[in-house]
Structure 1
Amino acid sequence: MRALDVTRTALGNTMRSKLRTFLTVIAIVIGAFTLAVTTGLAAGVNQTIEDMVDGYGDQDQIYVMQASAMGQGEDTGPGPQEYDPDTAGQQSEFGQAMLTEEDIETIEGIDGITNVDPIFFVSPDYLEAPDGGQYLLSELGLPADASGMELVAGETPARDSMEITVPETWLAIFDDADDDYEDVDPESVLGETVELGISDMVRESHTVEAEVVGVSVQNLAGIGGSPMPSHALNDELYEIQSSGLDVEQDDAFVQAAADVEDMEAFEDSIKEALQEEGLVGLTVEDFMGIIQTVIDAIAWVLYGFAVIALIAASFGIVNTLLMSVQERTREIGLMKALGMSGGRIFGLFSMEAVMIGLLGSLIGVGGGVLTGVVANALLTGSGGPLGDVGGLILYAVSPVAILSITGLVVGIAFLAGTLPAARAAKKDPIEALRYE
């Protein structure tokens, strides 16, 4: 028998007992389906994380904070820790350790760092449009993230100028005739002057003027969804926010963004130098890597369940083929008596196992991909429950992963079929012909 004849015969034999084959295939389908869905989910979420990393723009930055703020301080055991005024540092109202001016100077002195921007949060009260309307301003973007903005008009704020960008969804406040921001030309608001109202420590209100130089859209990293001030404007707002008391307060910063000359060359040495100073430095990839590790761990658990299902299905294949060998004992004897070799018989029964595995994998993988694609469209598309999360990918189709899953399932089916195939190949033709 030629290879094509073996394949045709194996397919026909597989369909002899349709119910038995169907039940065996169902077990394989469950495992292949789970693998296809899990692989697609992992690929989709990891793609989303990669897009978030790209959305932060400048990748040659390290975000620096106190080691104790990340839980990486010295382990002192369960008892109280002795107070050390030299290492305690300042704390925010939430108890988080803050960076001081001395810390900033230390960071600036590390080899490979070209510039350090302290990160502090300002909370303006409102933004006043050119027509005098005042709008609640709950938060401002961080100037350190400006390089990651997606703009539909204009440019990012110049570092030393009193400039600001506004989100596209805010355009309606610049046009009395339009209630829908989509009807306003983004170019028309460039050059407009707005005022930001902010209160000092004693709740006295102040205003600062800024020129609108860009219109942004929110990317997957969340950057661009709120007005983004320049460094100079942010500094001015912070000075006002921190003023009003007779007692002068030392500046304290939650984090600092350090520009690195060559991230690949200096990353490790900079992190070591920071650690020696009781600080910790994390890149954007480090932040996203924490999330990615959790996602991968969940995916591996699901992979384990899928593999268990496939192993269980392999016993079903063994049982199905052993019963087939038993039922076809005289047929095997006849084939051997007519000159068919044991190798050909082994190949015939092994091919039957492969056919069962291939059928189960095609149905399972196809169903998993279809389910993932449809669910992704329904959940993240317009009107879906996750439709407002721009750029979110829940499921991604990976041709390499699909082929790998199919190959894995067929491989397991082949291995499961070797035992009954070997038993069929070893049967004595005379005894087989006598079998009743």
Structure 2
Amino acid sequence: MRSVDVVKTALGNTMRSKTRTFLTVIAIVIGAFTLTLTSGLGAGINKYVDSMVSGFGETDQIYVMPGADPSQQMSTSTEPQEYDPQEAGSTGEFGMQMLTDDDIETIEGIDSVSDVEPIVFVTADYLETEAGDQFVVNSLGFPSDGESMELAAGELPDPEASEITVPETWLPAFDTEDPNAVLGQTVTIGLKDLAQQEQTIDAEVVGVSEQAISGVGGSPMPSSSLNQELNDVQNSGLEVDQPQTYVQAVATVDNLAENETAVKQALSDEGLMGLTLEDQLGVITGIIDTVTWVLNGFALIALLAASFGIVNTLLMSVQERTREIGLMKALGMGRGKVFGLFSTEAVLLGVMGSVIGVGLGVAIGVGGNAALVNGPLSGVAGLSLFAVDPLSIVLIVALILVIAFLAGTMPAARAAQKDPIEALRYE
């Protein structure tokens, strides 16, 4: 019997009991569908993160923050903690650790660090438009985030000018839906000084930002100069000297690719923590990868259940076709051909299940991605939730075919070992 005849015969045999074949294929479809959807989700998010990183160009910066000191973490213990006057001035709101001038000097002294830009923390009360309407400002973006921000219109603020960008979600505050209509307008930022007196500073809107999945671009972002000016006002009002603290610092590193590890280690030795932009975005991909692996685990369980379905289907088929097997062997069909026939039936079940499952997974993934990206998540710039990875699809199909083949080996071996005379006598 030729290979083509084996395939035709195997296909005909799988269609003998359509209900049994359908139920077996459904289990394979569920596993293939889940694997396709989860792998596409992981590929989509990772593709989005990679495009964000590549879009920033050759970044040579490390974002420096206070290191995680267990002794400074919030504790449920009621025991009194020893007071350290050296650390007393380096905490911000809610006990958050901050950088000090000494920390900035330490960073500047690290080999390969060519420049350090400290970032101060500013809390604003409201932003007032030219029309006189005031809106609550929940938070202001850090000037250092400007490099990782997508713009719907305009440009990034000039570090030396009193300029600001506003997110697209703020366009209704300016009574417009056109980002370009906001450019050039003057806004007033209100905040309180140490004496709790309201102070105001004017700034020019030079850009409209799109919010990224990391949250960058979702808040008004002042220039470095404006941020420092707001901080000076925030710390004024009383005739006392306030220690200067910084929420983070941006260190420019010469040849970051070669010196990244050494600089991070030097920062760690000083009790500081350094993260590149790729490190920060890597947290997102890590979460997505974890979720993807968990869901893939459930898909593999479904495929394991499907493999037992294949075994059961073929064992029943061998039992029902005992006389047929005996006749085929009496006519000269060898054990290898019989084994190949039933193995082919198992593989065909895998082919049907994988094609349907992968097809559904791709269709729903692409459709769902388009619906979400153009709908509820349209405000997230350049977001991609699902991507078709041909290699992953090939690997999924190959995995299912291997599982189907292995599941079919026991029934196929049992069929191949049947004695033709005993089989012909079977009632």
> In 2, distance between residues paired with 1:87 and 1:141?
26
Alignment of 1:267-286 (within 5 A): 267-286=260-279
The 8 Å contact of residues 333 and 431 in structure 1, kept in 2 or not, is answered as: yes
> In 2, distance between residues paired with 1:281 and 1:218?
24
Distance of aligned partners of 1:375 and 1:222 in 2 relative to their CA distance in 1, 3 Å threshold = same
Are 1:358 and 2:361 an aligned pair?
Answer: no
> In 2, distance between residues paired with 1:189 and 1:309?
55
Are 1:421 and 2:417 an aligned pair?
Answer: no
Alignment of 1:282-297 (within 5 A): 282-297=275-290
Are 1:142 and 2:152 an aligned pair?
Answer: no
Alignment of 1:237-386 (within 5 A): 237-382=230-375, 384=376, 386=377
**CA displacement at 1:271 relative to structure 2:** 1.1
> In 2, distance between residues paired with 1:108 and 1:72?
26
The 8 Å contact of residues 210 and 381 in structure 2, kept in 1 or not, is answered as: no
Aligned residue pairs: how many?
425
Are 1:235 and 2:217 an aligned pair?
Answer: no
1:21 is aligned to 21
Distance of aligned partners of 1:307 and 1:346 in 2 relative to their CA distance in 1, 3 Å threshold = same
Are 1:402 and 2:398 an aligned pair?
Answer: no
> In 2, distance between residues paired with 1:244 and 1:276?
38
Letter matched to residue 163 of structure 2: E
**CA displacement at 1:185 relative to structure 2:** 4.2
RMSD of aligned alpha carbons? 3.0
Alignment gaps of 5+ in structure 2: none
Distance of aligned partners of 1:96 and 1:215 in 2 relative to their CA distance in 1, 3 Å threshold = closer
Instruction: Report SS of the residue matched to 1:311.
Output: helix
Instruction: Report SS of the residue matched to 1:94.
Output: helix
2:132 is aligned to 133
> In 2, distance between residues paired with 1:64 and 1:254?
9
Deviations 1:5-56 (A, max 9, x none): 1111110011112122122212222222222222222223333444555577
- Of the structure 1 ranges 206-215 and 320-329, higher mean CA displacement relative to structure 2 is found in 206-215
> In 1, distance between residues paired with 2:83 and 2:269?
19
Q: Percent identity?
A: 58
**CA displacement at 1:4 relative to structure 2:** 1.0
Distance of aligned partners of 1:133 and 1:89 in 2 relative to their CA distance in 1, 3 Å threshold = closer
**CA displacement at 1:315 relative to structure 2:** 1.6
> In 2, distance between residues paired with 1:336 and 1:164?
84
1:181 is aligned to 177
Distance of aligned partners of 1:39 and 1:151 in 2 relative to their CA distance in 1, 3 Å threshold = closer
Deviations 1:326-382 (A, max 9, x none): 222222222222222221111111100001111111222222223333333344432
2:63 is aligned to 63
Distance of aligned partners of 1:319 and 1:223 in 2 relative to their CA distance in 1, 3 Å threshold = closer
- Of the structure 1 ranges 227-236 and 12-21, higher mean CA displacement relative to structure 2 is found in 227-236
Distance of aligned partners of 1:29 and 1:233 in 2 relative to their CA distance in 1, 3 Å threshold = same
> In 2, distance between residues paired with 1:285 and 1:365?
32
Deviations 1:212-244 (A, max 9, x none): 444444344433344332212211111111111
Letter matched to residue 345 of structure 2: E
> In 2, distance between residues paired with 1:231 and 1:281?
20
- Of the structure 1 ranges 24-33 and 350-359, higher mean CA displacement relative to structure 2 is found in 24-33
- Of the structure 1 ranges 364-373 and 318-327, higher mean CA displacement relative to structure 2 is found in 364-373
> In 2, distance between residues paired with 1:329 and 1:254?
78
Letter matched to residue 308 of structure 1: I
> In 1, distance between residues paired with 2:252 and 2:71?
23
The 8 Å contact of residues 32 and 306 in structure 1, kept in 2 or not, is answered as: yes
Alignment gaps of 5+ in structure 1: none
**CA displacement at 1:251 relative to structure 2:** 0.4
